[in-house]
Amino acid sequence: MTGDERPAGVPRPAEPEGGDPACWVRRVCPACGRLADADPPVRCTTCGEQLPAD
């Protein structure tokens, strides 16, 4: 067998889930892209940008 060929009836192994949760998007500063430490964030600690409220 080569590549991803499998005998009939043999399931593929589960793919690992990766990445960051989408719920963190509100913690990203629109000015500099830094992820805020606090939740909910109010002001970016790196650049001082006021972060939008939900």
CA dist., res. 18 & res. 47, Å (int): 29
Going by the DSSP 8-state scheme, the letter that residue 9 receives in this structure is: T
CA dist., res. 13 & res. 4, Å (int): 11
Residues 15-31: pLDDT tens digits?
877 777 778 888 889 99
Going by the DSSP 8-state scheme, the letter that residue 13 receives in this structure is: P
| Mean model confidence pLDDT for the chain | 82
User: Could you tell me if 1 and 8 are in contact, meaning their C-beta atoms sit under 8 angstroms apart?
Assistant: no
The predicted pLDDT at position 1 comes to 45
- Read off φ and ψ for residue 43, nearest 5 degrees: -140, 140
What does the pLDDT average to over 38-51? 87
What does the pLDDT average to over 18-47? 85
Structure-block tokens of residue 35: 């992820």
